């Protein structure tokens, strides 16, 4: 694949990553409006949304297997197109059941993207895999930063349905561009493995348990951090700015981590970013001056959390044979996003029964577990041997 086509592919994947996350950011922005329109409750919508996110995480396993069987290009096109088409359901959703159907279908089809994209990147970008993973990751962060602004503007003018439709149409349109940008040689029929074969890959279990620990803290942190700031008497504007800053510093973390991982090895970067995540959570709790603690948290946690992703994904790509990449990335995605829905329940329970601070201590515990596991991940020598076997 030529350099020009590779850059085009990475650009399209970054845009697709952004749109994939954007679709899942819309509902919380119009939560009260939707609750009032459908005469339901926040608790009921929250339950439906929790199920949708669980499907989004679990669907990654299915998406990985589909990409291994039918090829990455076809799976990405199908996921983008069908998730985009699913947003049309909201145009005709006038009952609560129709709303639920739209949310579940959108989440299910959107779940096909992540493991498939990571598998494709790992096969196309052999020499600079981590850097490509990092650039792809920045697309998701850009979506996190700007999608809420666009969605709220559209919703204010034409209602919440227009926000879903806008991002849905973009997803549908983008799906057609992948036909000319992806290498056809990757679409050939291949020998297929399954999850039992993946379980035999040396060093993979450590990465899986590591990502499980990540899943048990990161969604909880995302969920409770704004409330933590409100309890510290920060204004709503500052709360929104703080959350945006995490995503913004994450862009730098994704890009720099990817470049450094290719130079010094992904394991070293994974250990370093795992340390940074834990330090960020510690600073938030122990520094008496809230503005200082929050600032250090944003810097260390934002940079390190998003910085760990290209290192982890490239490490998984290096130790996994080609025919198992999809299923492996699918399982990793489920452990992070699927289990992530459990962490929101954990922090909610801690905050209600004890305190918000106790919730962060629980999340810190899981981050320490992940940190310890990062030292046990496969060494560079093993990843190099795996790459040599793959290229034979």
Model confidence band, residue 392 (pLDDT cutoffs 50, 70, 90):
very low
Q: In a 10 Å sphere around its CB, with 0-12 CB exposed, 13-18 middle and 19+ buried, how is residue 127 labelled?
A: exposed
Residue 206 CA to residue 270 CA, distance in Å, equals 13
What pLDDT is recorded for position 182?
Answer: 57
Tens of pLDDT, residues 265-286: 889 999 999 999 999 999 998 8
Whether 164 shows a pLDDT value over 90: the answer reads yes
What pLDDT is recorded for position 389?
Answer: 43
What pLDDT is recorded for position 273?
Answer: 96
Tens of pLDDT, residues 339-356: 777 777 787 778 778 888
User: Across residues 210-234, what is the average pLDDT?
Assistant: 83
Beta strands in 14-167 (DSSP E): none
Q: Does the domain at residues 195-391 carry the CATH identifier 1.20.1250.20?
A: yes
Whether 219 shows a pLDDT value over 90: the answer reads no
CATH topology of domain 3-187: Growth Hormone; Chain: A; (1.20.1250)
Model confidence band, residue 385 (pLDDT cutoffs 50, 70, 90):
very low
Cα radius of gyration (the chain): 20
Round the average pLDDT of the chain to a whole number and report it: 82
Using an 8 Å Cβ cutoff, are 126 and 2 in contact? no
Return the higher-pLDDT residue of 258 and 91: 91
Helix 339-353 to helix 42-70 angle (10° resolution) is 160
Q: Where are the domains of the chain?
A: 3-187, 195-391
Return the higher-pLDDT residue of 180 and 380: 180
Whether 231 shows a pLDDT value over 70: the answer reads yes
What pLDDT is recorded for position 95?
Answer: 92
* Residue with tokens 């919440």, as numbered in its chain: 160
Residue 79 CA to residue 81 CA, distance in Å, equals 6
In Å, how far are 11, 59, 133, 149, 375 from 169, measured between CA atoms? 18, 22, 26, 18, 44
User: Across residues 188-201, what is the average pLDDT?
Assistant: 58
Least confident residue range of 183-192, 266-275, 310-319: 183-192
Model confidence band, residue 380 (pLDDT cutoffs 50, 70, 90):
low
| Phi, psi (rounded to 5 degrees) for 16 | -65, -40
Least confident residue range of 40-44, 61-65, 100-104: 40-44
What pLDDT is recorded for position 282?
Answer: 94
CA-nearest of 116, 104, 132 to 77 is 116
Whether 105 shows a pLDDT value over 90: the answer reads yes
User: Across residues 130-141, what is the average pLDDT?
Assistant: 79
Whether 115 shows a pLDDT value over 80: the answer reads yes
Least confident residue range of 216-230, 264-278, 374-388: 374-388
In Å, how far are 189, 215, 226, 228 from 355, measured between CA atoms? 54, 21, 14, 10
Residue 68 CA to residue 193 CA, distance in Å, equals 8
Return the higher-pLDDT residue of 2 and 243: 243
User: Across residues 22-51, what is the average pLDDT?
Assistant: 80
Least confident residue range of 119-133, 150-164, 263-277: 119-133
What pLDDT is recorded for position 183?
Answer: 58
What pLDDT is recorded for position 387?
Answer: 46
**Domains 3-187 and 195-391 agree in fold:** yes
Whether 360 shows a pLDDT value over 80: the answer reads yes
How many residues are there in the chain? 392
Q: In a 10 Å sphere around its CB, with 0-12 CB exposed, 13-18 middle and 19+ buried, how is residue 272 labelled?
A: middle
């Amino acid at each position: 694949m030529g350099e020009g086509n590779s850059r085009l592919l990475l650009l399209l994947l970054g845009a697709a990553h952004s749109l994939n996350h954007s679709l899942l950011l819309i509902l919380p922005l119009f939560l009260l409006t939707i609750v009032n329109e459908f005469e339901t409750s926040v608790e009921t919508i929250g339950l439906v949304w929790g199920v949708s996110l669980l499907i989004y995480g679990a669907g990654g396993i299915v998406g990985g297997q589909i990409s291994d069987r039918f090829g990455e290009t076809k799976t990405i096109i199908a996921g983008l197109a069908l998730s985009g088409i699913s947003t049309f359901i909201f145009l005709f959703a006038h009952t609560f059941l129709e709303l639920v159907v739209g949310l579940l279908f959108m989440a299910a089809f959107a779940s096909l993207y992540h493991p498939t994209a990571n598998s494709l990147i790992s096969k196309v970008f052999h020499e600079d895999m981590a850097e490509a993973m990092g650039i792809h990751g920045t697309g998701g962060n850009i979506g996190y930063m700007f999608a809420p602004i666009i969605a709220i503007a559209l919703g204010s003018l034409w209602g919440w349905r227009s926000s879903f439709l806008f991002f849905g149409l973009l997803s549908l349109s983008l799906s057609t561009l992948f036909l000319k940008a992806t290498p056809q040689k990757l679409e050939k029929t291949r020998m297929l493995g399954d999850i039992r074969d993946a379980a035999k890959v040396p060093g993979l279990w450590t990465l899986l348990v590591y990502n499980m620990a990540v899943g048990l803290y990161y969604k909880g942190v995302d969920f409770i951090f704004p409330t933590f700031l409100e309890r510290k008497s920060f204004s709503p504007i500052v709360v929104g700015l703080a959350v945006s800053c995490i995503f913004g510093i994450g862009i730098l973390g994704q890009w720099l981590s990817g470049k450094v991982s290719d130079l010094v090895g992904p394991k070293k970067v994974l250990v370093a970013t795992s340390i940074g995540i834990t330090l960020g959570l510690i600073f938030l709790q122990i520094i008496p001056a809230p503005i200082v603690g929050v600032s250090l948290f944003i810097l260390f946690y934002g940079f390190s959390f998003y910085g760990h992703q290209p290192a982890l994904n490239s490490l998984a790509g290096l130790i996994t044979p080609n025919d198992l990449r999809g299923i492996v990335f699918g399982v990793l995605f489920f452990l992070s996003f699927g289990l992530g829905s459990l962490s929101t329940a954990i922090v909610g329970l801690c905050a209600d029964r004890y305190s918000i601070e106790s919730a962060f201590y629980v999340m810190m515990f899981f981050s320490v577990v992940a940190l310890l596991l990062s030292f046990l991940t496969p060494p560079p020598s093993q990843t190099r041997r795996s790459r040599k076997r793959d290229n034979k």
